[in-house]
Each structure stands twice: as C-alpha cells, then as structure tokens.
Amino acid sequence: MNVLIIEDEQHNARMLADMLRGLRPGWRLCGMAESVRQSVELLRKEPQPDLVLMDIQLSDGICFSIFKQVNVRSRIIFTTAFDHYAVQAFRVNSIDYLLKPVKTAELERALDKFERMGGMHPPGPSRPVPDPSDHEHIMRAILSGRKEYRKRFLISTGSTYQRLDTRDIACFTSENKITTAHTFRGDQYVVDFSLDRLEEELDPADYFRADRRTIIHIDLVGRFEDYFGGKLVVRLKAPVNDRITVSRLKAAAFKVWTGK
C-alpha cells in the first residue's frame, strides 16, 4: 500500500508519517510534497499512490487546483484546520477528512474507512475518478463559509457502488442500530450513518426528525391531525403508506416546518 503525504508544514508531515508507520507498519510512504506544483509532479507519475493524505492550504495555493491539472485516481483523505462549516462540506461529498491537530484515533478511523471502501485495490480504470465539480463545490463552501447539506450518498452492495441522491429519499428509519434509506420508488438501502448524524447533515427545509427512529421528507407528508396529549398523528404517502406520531415537544416545530 503506497501513501503520499501532501502537507506544507514539515512538523505536521512528519507527525502524519510517524502515525502512519505506527498504525500501518506494512504500508509504504512513497513521497511527500508541500506545494501544488510538487504534488502535480508526483501524481503525474505512474503508478499513482493508493492513498493521499492532503492538506487544504499548501505553500503555493489551495489543493483543489491539483485536480484541475492531473487526473487523480488515488483515494483522498483531506486534512484541514477549517471550521465546522468546511467539515460539513466534506461530509456532503462523502470525502473523508481529518481536523487538525490530527489525532491518532481519528487517523485510524479514516484508514479503516479507506480499507472498507476497497482501498486495498490499486487505483486504475476500474476505480471511479473523483468528480472535479465535487472538489470545486467543497472549495466554494470553504471560501464562502456557508453550511452545505448532504446531496448524495455512496451505497455499497458487495464490491459495487452506486450513487443515491438525497432528493430521491422519502425517509430514513433506524432499527437495531441499522439505518435504512427508503426511496420514493420503494427501494431500500442501508446507509452507514446514525439518525443523529443525518439530522445534522440533511437540509432541515426538506427533512424532519419525527421521532427517535424516523426522519421524513416533506413530500412524504400527506396530512396530520391533533392527537391526545398535544401530539400529532402524521399520515405518510406512498410508498410508506403508514402513520407516525410526533411528540408534544416536537408538534409545534413540525407545524412550522410543514407550513414553510
């Protein structure tokens, strides 16, 4: 497993290298770069590394310009000192990130995710190439300071992957710590997110946490009516065709949400 570190601060680069050697002693550090120019030179060589640990702000510019100059087939784990809104932008595009100062446990988590996503297979034509527009989207979010909400999920079924757009999802349910996305077409997919995390990442204009086990899309709401104790009973449209109860504490917020 070949890893490239792109980091313009030497002490951070050395720290990442030491962490990597401790966590994955069998992996090979194939190079370090501190600038966009050096990174492009290294990434133009074949074969490209399996994984790149990439800082956002480099000595000669923002790292996203790298993707405009070279077709990067390596998987990327970004490192960043940017704030919460930037972190949300990374989550939107299913790109892993490490918030500086990087902690060993967080790097271990990111490496585990990399391996689960097929990281042990070398980059090549069979691996999907990152969409440059996604990187530009992240950069715009960072520079503008806006909070970005999740627009898609990467669904894994065995050794294949597919994109699931958020706008196609009618609701999310949780049962025995397994979260399932239910589409308006009636399909179901397991997603690797808790409802608590989804509540943070989904656009609150479209999604509402109805109870501890359910998040619903506004277009799934048919009608609702008052229930005893200040609760609401919500009738859901197809494909769910069910009803759920919204608690007294959430009833007022639900009415405001549906009336926007």
* Residues 23-80 pLDDT 10s: 999 999 999 999 999 999 999 988 899 999 998 888 888 888 888 898 888 888 888 7
Higher pLDDT, 55 or 170: 170
pLDDT at 153: 87
Q: 3-class DSSP state for residue 17? A: helix
pTM, two decimals, is: 0.53
Tokens 């989207």, located at residue: 137
Which comes out higher in pLDDT, residue 67 or 18? 18
* Closest C-alpha among 245, 165, 201, 251 to residue 92: 201
Domain with CATH 3.40.50.2300 in the chain: 2-144
Q: What span, in angstroms and rounded, lies between the C-alpha atoms of 53 and 114?
A: 11
pLDDT at 133 over 80: no
Q: Domain 152-259, CATH 2.40.50.1020 — does that match?
A: yes
Q: CB within 8 A of 144, min separation 6: which ones?
A: none
> Superfamily assignment of 2-144 in CATH?
Response regulator (3.40.50.2300)
- pLDDT of 82-121, one tens digit each? 655 455 545 544 457 777 778 898 899 889 888 887 664 4
pLDDT of residue 113: 83
What's the pLDDT score for residue 36?
92
Residue 138, pLDDT score: 63
The answer to whether 190 touches 183, Cβ cutoff 8 Å, is no
Q: What pLDDT shows up at residue 76?
A: 86
Q: Is the pLDDT of residue 169 over 90?
A: yes
Residues of the chain with CATH 2.40.50.1020: 152-259
